[in-house]
Structure 1
Amino acid sequence: MVAEDDDTLAFLDIHPAAPGHTLIIPKRPARDLLDAEADAVAAVARMVQQVARLLDVTFAPEGITVLQSNRAAAGQDVFYYHVHVIPRFQVDEVSISYQVLKDLDLADVARRMRAGQTS
């Protein structure tokens, strides 16, 4: 455990990508971001920032990656809402990549997303 408050826990990942790789979870169980209550998501975000600052002071990384996946297709393999905070260096072996979609009609995508809003 590296940090805790009333709503969250922050602890080192047992399969770290880098020294200091930390996981943040809400104390209130949720399967993923979509299942979590808004106040739990906000509490996790506050702890993510606190841990990122702690990593910055402790390891002086060149960057910090914040990673959160939902559902198996996105790479989630632990089905409890959690966020990874990973200190990064230009020479590290951490890889987070995707292929850029070309010729995507962004206006159409935005229109479809706005049409799906429920609030």
Structure 2
Amino acid sequence: MTDFKELQTKEELEQMWKRSTEKPVLVLKHSTTCPISAEAFKQYQAFLESGADPAEAYLVKVIESRDLSNQLAEETGVKHESPQLFLLQDNHVRWHTSHSAITEDAINQALQQA
């Protein structure tokens, strides 16, 4: 099982980008007040618990860490949505999706194609 790390500082975000040059990185932007986001979070956790992933996993809480969430949108060039999932590799967005399209199967497929 892979655990995720919650990003809370700009330094942690910078480190996450650096890690993307070593291995794929997954980042879930999650709203703690949204039921759709809660379901996406469950799918993300199910994927991580499957043990099949070769990626590092991160979480950004969009309400509690709004500045970081906005910075991630700016750095990726992808309009903010919540929930939203990114697959980053070599400092680039390789794949992203949002809302109910965030599923365990979709994450597996994205990693296989990366």
What TM-score do you get using the length of structure 1 for normalisation? 0.28
Higher RCO by CA contacts (8 Å cutoff, separation 6 or greater): 2
- Structure with a larger share of its residues in helix: 2
Larger Rg: 1
- Structure with a larger share of its residues in strand: 2
